[in-house]
Amino acid sequence: MTELHDLTALEQGDAVRRGETSPRELAAHYLERADAVGAFVTRTPERALERAGSLLPAPTDAGLLYGVPTAIKDLNLTAGVRTTFGSAAYADFVPDTSDGVTLSIEGAGMVSLGKTNTPEFGSPCYTESDVAPPAVTPWDPTRMAGGSSGGAAAAVAAGLVPVAQGSDGGGSIRIPASCCGLVGLKPTRGRISGWPMYGEITGLATGGSLGRTVRDAAALLDVLAGRRAGDPSWAPAPSSSFLSACDREPRRLRIARFIEPVIADVVVDPECVAAWESASALLASLGHEVEDIAVPMPRDAVPTFEICWAVLTALSPVAPDQEELLRPLTRWLAGSGRAVSGPEFGLALGAMRRYAADCLTALAPYDAVLTPTLAVPPLPVGALRDDDDPAADFEAQKRFTPWTSAWNVTGMPAVSLPLHRTPSALPVGVMLAARPAEEELLLSLAAQVEAAAPWADRHPPGW
């Protein structure tokens, strides 16, 4: 028997438009499902049901995700709803305004069920904060969901919402997508507005989408994408909807691949190698030209990235009397950032732009590039976290995620696809990236891969 949560997000939206279900019925169904994976920091059942009940009758121009439940990452401002940024220093903070991402979701007629779990200020690649239980993958609740969009990924993978928004400054959508067996899409820099804060001054971070299918992730990107009047820069508009790109068969593509880690010396787990090799063979079988290349970004770029990351952490506004509430890793990163002078930061930003330019030039002949998403399958909760030695914690994170941040530096769109599973059924993702502003090509390719090797019917225990 098909349950409502068995339907994809697009199928749920279609059912609402056909009158086969209602936004309130969908919201109530998902709210009845227990959160056993640490997906939420705050749930808002009364608010969600009231919102869902107000959505009928649906307007004639209702979008494809109208009435569909979702959730909003706890880094995003939500007027009247607690927003902790994953930090005990903001445990009781309730903003009086919503940001552009939240407004876009509301404007599409979607129904938020609450705020998804995130680590403090979205910095680590694991979701273990002081304001909520750890976010875990539903495929093995002893193992991490990844981060920083770990709660969003856990919620989608466990069937607590059909699709969810996340954000990604160094892999924070693609990492949890790999850990949880989902599609995780980081779009091109400037594709999604940072209104009204515009606090991400390095260009590393962007919003994006997590879904069980490529089409669901593309449909949510259609909701989130677009410029706002105050945006300092933006990506060019697509030729049509991102969802429609999923229905276009890609031409024969030239795809580069490499597996050498970019930012750390680490032995890649055999299961991650197998996933990469299998994806390469699949792409070749689909008629694409797959070519080995050298790593397009030098290891010298890593210290530059780390300067920018530390300064971003230092910019997180916390009152002096609240700093003792911050986690050891956050305090260590913020201290490193405060030690960087203004001229040093300016030089680092310039150097990062040049590294990006060189990488983009090297990859320009290729339509896409293939790497593993992570160096190992999802690790046990606590395996990366080291409160006694934050520097060791940071190095362990780099070894776990040695490819993802490269595409934040370049601003390229990238997607993690759940193509592989270990013998114990743990999900293992592979990552495809494309030239800037070429999400349509990337989604077309990803949809072709999904059609050839479907994964949407795989469900974790307890589904």
Cα-flanking dihedrals φ and ψ of residue 429, to 5°? -95, 160
What is the number of other CB atoms lying within 10 angstroms of the CB of residue 237? 11
Going by C-beta distance under 8 Å and a sequence separation of 6 or more, which residues neighbour residue 354? none
Q: Which distant-in-sequence residues (6+ apart) come within 8 Å of 150 by Cβ?
A: 38, 117, 118, 119, 126, 127, 135, 144, 176, 179
Phi/psi at 209 (nearest 5 deg)? -135, 150
**Residue 209 bears catalytic tag:** no
Torsion, Cα 77 305 336 399, to 10 degrees, reads 90
Tally Cβ neighbours within 10 Å of residue 353.
15
DSSP state of 397: H
Is 163:70 a contact under the CB 8 Å cutoff? yes
Put the strands of the sheet holding 254-257 in their side by side order: 163-168, 206-211, 183-186, 414-421, 427-434, 368-372, 254-257, 289-292
459: how many CB neighbours lie within 10 A of its CB? 16
- Amino acid identity at 184: G
Q: Judging by DSSP bridges, how do beta strands 427-434 and 183-186 pair with one another?
A: unpaired
**Cα–Cα distances in angstroms (integers) from residue 299 to residues 48, 222, 266, in the given order:** 47, 35, 13
- Active-site entry in 148, 167, 405, 416: 148
Judge residue 54's burial from the number of C-beta atoms within 10 Å of its C-beta, 0-12 exposed, 13-18 middle, 19 or more buried: exposed
Indicate if 73 belongs to the active site. yes
Distances (CA, A) of 48 to 24, 32, 83, 272: 8, 12, 16, 39
Could you tell me the sign of the dihedral formed by the alpha carbons of 66, 68, 72, 77, in that order? positive
CA dist list (Å): 54 to 40, 50, 216, 316, 379: 24, 6, 24, 36, 42
Measured distance CA(282)–CA(453) in Å, rounded: 9
Whether the ω angle into residue 134 lies within 30 degrees of 0, i.e. cis, is: no
Give me the count of residues in the chain: 463
Q: Which of 98, 112, 149, 172 is catalytic?
A: 172
Q: Residue 46's CB: how many other CB atoms inside 10 A?
A: 9
Q: Are 363 and 369 in contact (CB under 8 A)?
A: yes
Known catalytic residue at 233:
no
> Catalytic residue numbers?
73, 148, 172
